[in-house]
Amino acid sequence: MQRTRLIQAFRNFLPAESVLAATEDLRPYECDALSAYRQLPMIVVLPQTEAEIAEILRICHAEQVPVVARGAGTGLSGGAQPHAEGVLVSLAKLNRILEIDPLACSARVQPGVRNLAISEAAEVYGLYYAPDPSSQIACTIGGNVAENSGGVHCLKYGLTVHNILKLRVLTIEGACLEIGGDALDSPGYDLLALLTGSEGMLGIVTEITVKLLPKPETAKLVMAMFDDIKKAGEAVANVIRAGIIPAGMEMMDKITIHAVEDFIHAGYDKDAAAILLCESDGLEEEVADEIRQIQAILTASGAVRVDTSRNEHERQRFWAGRKAAFPAAGRISPDYYCMDGTIPRKHLAQVLQQIEQLSVEYGLRCMNVFHAGDGNLHPLILYDANQPGELQKAEDFGARILEICIAAGGTLTGEHGVGIEKLNQMCLQFSDAERELFHALKSAFDPSMLLNPGKAVPTLHRCAEFGAMHVHRGTEKFPEIPRF
Amino acid sequence: MQRTRLIQAFRNFLPAESVLAATEDLRPYECDALSAYRQLPMIVVLPQTEAEIAEILRICHAEQVPVVARGAGTGLSGGAQPHAEGVLVSLAKLNRILEIDPLACSARVQPGVRNLAISEAAEVYGLYYAPDPSSQIACTIGGNVAENSGGVHCLKYGLTVHNILKLRVLTIEGACLEIGGDALDSPGYDLLALLTGSEGMLGIVTEITVKLLPKPETAKLVMAMFDDIKKAGEAVANVIRAGIIPAGMEMMDKITIHAVEDFIHAGYDKDAAAILLCESDGLEEEVADEIRQIQAILTASGAVRVDTSRNEHERQRFWAGRKAAFPAAGRISPDYYCMDGTIPRKHLAQVLQQIEQLSVEYGLRCMNVFHAGDGNLHPLILYDANQPGELQKAEDFGARILEICIAAGGTLTGEHGVGIEKLNQMCLQFSDAERELFHALKSAFDPSMLLNPGKAVPTLHRCAEFGAMHVHRGTEKFPEIPRF
């Protein structure tokens, strides 16, 4: 029997506690943070070295068994969901920081290192790693690479792909590739971005060289209250139009403000229809200058109140509400479903209005808290899984939001990935030719389709079915999506 | 006869003057700026629309005829060299700026638009396009995408790949792909970087959306003279170590200083062993602060003289010498061969010393003028093509420099691409597994290998032969390369 043979093969070079096969041992791996989808893997292995991973891959390749890699399991799109007949490779034990080079401003780390641990280790050199997903205490850099994670500060500092230099990657055959380099450019095809955000479909990353940045001398945060969310959306556009790229620019709507203020007491004005948080970081003089400009633009854009943090404590307090938005949602609703779509900034007000209409249509509340500067929405759909049909309604509502984002010229993910959650919407986002090319690229890396099968790129068959399903709702394909 | 049939097929939808087949009409297309390699194409076509390019590709695909795309022909590695039995597609007539969006800070342009023309058109909005290759007056954005071009300011602002948002690309079958998007992240595999720098091997780019940046308020240039090139190399490291990313950081050695000062009279000190130019741009206060820091670090690093531009005129004068380095080489030597390798900054002094030794060994002078900040060397090997054997010696010398760069942990190209010039060194840069993957990726896009065949990625056979050739010079593979 294949399962027994595999367990035996893995135990030949891994300690017994690193090869899990009993149901109770597999349970912790059955889902990532998108907990609505659950699946036990056949076997879980916990290698500690690149050589061990290579051997695992060679065995799985020889046996033609699917392989799913897993970081900390904090993903929100089901990218790390196990395969029922597959091996789940946890990278948790590859958790060493191998080297910090303060001259090159880089760190070489293993995939299981936590995001925040890199900045903590680099602090002694006055350096840090910029991308800061909300889960940065827990999530690992390997998972960040797989999902191309962002964070509050990615408006100014970019996503994971903009902050890594080099990867060591194992192919499904167990061969090692070195991708990227220390120089700005490298010859041959640029595979660094292709691998980043590829959701474990092309290879398993065993080592990452990340860029480190000098810690900014200072940071200040402007908090602006608006009596109309459209004015707040316009204010975002006005700041960018003035040539300012804030370190972060976050927006919260009324329902979010109430939820977090009752919870955290960050000092948000509960009469506001929207709050905009706008951060500047850098040298003292530069920040002072930029903050003055931001204050003037927000006031001219119709903010009813503009407060600026007077010290680090106050800056942290202003941020505290925003950072507590997800747990605050958990306080006012039994369940919530976090979406992740991105739209051109200019359509912000219009898309928020459409979400509002859908909220009425589905009879579900929706908190809007998002990275306004880069147009990355995170609508939190509030529902109660114990009410029959509400989960389905929440999922439908979420899918409609993604379709609105696509119709607005945006994309169906800002930083959470496609995983299993957004497969259908990939049919809308890309043409047949584009999806066929994706499959051809996947084949170039993994001809037998063993790495994380069924994720990220839908089959042509699935898209045909999804199209047919949509036709039933109207007279032609996707007619319900208003085009801008 | 295929040639006649193709000409007829093209003339069915292109005006007669856009289908060239007479030898005298083909002559201007026989090489790019790497003029040592020449080849006439079978036919040249000059389409004016994307639909025309798609039709050309469909015809070539049906006839299984190679296709080479060409921008302005300013490339330095032979990437646009025609194929003897192929069709050369000039993109010169797709030269319109389609849209400038000052709010999104982006411009949508056709591939034949000149690099500098984008900044000229954006100037009215206070915006510009950052990458500035030396050839920016002439080179086109389509060629910049194909080669992932850099420039003096890419240390701070990145290469082409960091400054584009979206591409429209035609496959060899004539299908249109939209790649990238207006948002920071996009779902599916990230193909934007894969396409950028792919040297026309994967598709033909028909439209590019580039990022525009706000023009800096001011810029100042520090010019530092050193009596020892090692100290200058160390100074570069010290500036970066202090957390400063200058807008540009360029170095010239003694022979370059003499050549340009005699030519341009930029005010360079001819007693200096090396000159470092270090620019800061941004807000007035920010620049003043950064310039003070740079002056202090360069002085502490042993600069014998540190001058700072007092006005825009002086800044331009200090730059003038650096910018005239290539024509200055032409004044002191009948021919020169420009190389392009990149090394980790910390090995700068050591690699320069090795180049010096090779210069003695080959009996050829070499001017070193380069993007010091990002370790991108541009050695100019001086030779006389009329002296029998000198071209060959210059090429061997150049190849050795690339091999030294690779051995130092660097790469064989900084911004000029591989083309046909550096195919052999690609065998050293990448492992068999890596090159096999490159070929598999090429197949995913272009299974019949019709797009720009023979460029950028060497065949396994060629690498085997190159390996064998190197064995003859020593006892094992590549023994002459000192490892760091």
Name the residue with higher pLDDT: B36 or A430. Answer: A430
Output the pLDDT for position B477.
34
What confidence tier does A36 reach under pLDDT thresholds 50, 70, 90? confident
Above 70 in pLDDT, residue A482?
no
Nearest CA in chain A to B187: A413
Closest CB to A426 among B188, B437, B444: B188
B-chain CB neighbours of A443 within 8 Å are 440, 444
Q: Which of A159, A185, A340 should be substituted to probe chain B, the one whose Cβ sees the most B Cβ atoms within 10 Å?
A: A185
Query: Minimal Cα distance from A237: which residue of B?
Result: B103
Report CB contact under 8 Å: B444, A433: no
ipTM above 0.85, yes or no: no
Q: Which residues from B are below 8 Å from A286, CB to CB?
A: 282-283, 285-286
Minimal CA separation from A183 to chain B, in Å: 6
pLDDT greater than 80 at residue A469:
no
Q: Which pLDDT belongs to residue B184? A: 67
Interface contact A243-B346, CB threshold 8 A = no
Q: Give the amino acid at A302.
A: G
Q: B156 to chain A: nearest residue by CA? A: A184
Residues with Cβ within 8 Å of residue B219, at least 6 apart in sequence: B247, B279, B280, B281, B287, B315
| A74: its two tokens | 């904090």
Whether pLDDT at A478 is above 50? no
- Residues in chain B within 8 Å Cβ distance of A422: 187
Closest to A413 (Cβ–Cβ): which among B162, B187, B413? B187
Using a CB-CB cut-off of 8 Å, the residues of chain A touching B444 are: 437, 440-441, 443-444
CA distance B3 to B22: 12
- Asked if A181's CB is within 8 angstroms of B411's CB, the reply is yes
Residues 6+ apart with CB under 8 A from B476: none
Residues from chain A contacting residue B441 (CB–CB below 8 Å): 189, 191, 441, 444
pLDDT in tens, A164-199: 999 999 999 999 999 988 766 677 888 999 999 999
Q: Residue A59's closest CA among A43, A73, A72?
A: A43
Q: Residue A473: is its pLDDT beyond 70?
A: no
pLDDT at B414: 79
What's the pLDDT score for residue A480?
38
Question: Given CB atoms, is B418 within the 8 Å cutoff of chain A?
Answer: yes
Chain A residues with CB inside 8 Å of B198's CB?
189-190
Q: Are A29 and A82 in contact (CB under 8 A)?
A: yes
Q: Do A185 and B289 touch (CB under 8 A)?
A: no
8 Å CB contact of B150 and A193: no
Beta carbons of B90 and B46 less than 8 angstroms apart: yes
pLDDT at A474 over 50: no
Contacts of A346 in chain B (CB under 8 A): 103-104
Chain B contact present for A385, CB below 8 A: no
Helices and strands (DSSP H and E) totals, chain A: 17, 20
Average pLDDT, chain A: 90
Q: How far is B41 from chain A (nearest CA, A)?
A: 25
In chain B, which among 55-94 make CB contacts under 8 A with chain A?
Answer: none
User: By the CB < 8 Å criterion, does A144 face chain B?
Assistant: no
| CA–CA separation, B258 and B262 (whole Å) | 6
Pair of tokens at residue A135: 């889960």
Query: Which chain B residue lies closest to A413 (C-alpha atoms)?
Result: B187
Provide, rounded to the nearest whole percent, the portion of chain A with pLDDT above 90: 66
Chosen from A189, A428, A431, A445 to mutate, greatest number of chain B CBs within 10 A: A189
Residue A483 — very low, low, confident or very high, per pLDDT cuts 50/70/90? Answer: very low
Which of A127, A184, A428 is most worth mutating to test chain B (most B CB atoms within 10 A of its CB)?
Answer: A184
Assigned token pair, B267: 């005010």
* Cβ within 8 Å of residue B51, ≥6 positions away: none
What does each of the 484 residues of chain B score in pLDDT, given as a tens digit? 799 999 999 999 999 999 999 999 999 999 888 777 789 999 999 999 999 999 999 999 999 999 999 999 988 888 899 999 999 999 999 999 999 998 889 999 999 999 999 999 999 999 999 999 888 889 999 999 999 998 888 889 999 999 999 999 999 999 999 998 876 667 788 899 999 999 999 999 999 999 999 999 999 999 999 999 999 999 998 998 888 999 999 999 999 999 999 998 999 999 999 999 999 999 888 899 999 999 999 999 999 999 999 999 999 999 988 888 888 988 899 988 888 889 888 888 889 999 999 999 999 999 999 898 888 999 999 999 899 999 899 999 999 999 999 899 888 887 788 888 888 888 888 888 999 999 999 999 999 999 999 888 888 888 888 775 543 232 233 333 333 3
**Minimal CA separation from B388 to chain A, in Å:** 32
Over 80: is that where the pLDDT of A23 sits? yes
Q: Which residues of A touch B149 (CB under 8 A)?
A: none
In chain B, which residue's Cα lies nearest the Cα of A190? B194
Chain A from 163 to 192: CB within 8 A of any B CB: 171, 175-178, 181-192
- Check B433 against A176: CB less than 8 A apart: yes
Sign of CA dihedral B273, B279, B280, B284: positive
Q: pLDDT by residue (tens digit) across A358-382? A: 999 999 999 999 898 888 999 999 9
Domains and CATH numbers, chain A: 2-90 (3.30.43.10), 97-214 (3.30.465.10), 218-327 (3.30.70.3450), 333-473 (3.30.70.2740)
Q: Is B104 within 8 Å of chain A by CB?
A: yes
The predicted structure's pLDDT at residue A481: 36
pLDDT at B469: 55
> Rounded to whole angstroms, how far apart are CA atoms A376 and A151?
10
Search chain A and give the residue with CA nearest B447.
A440
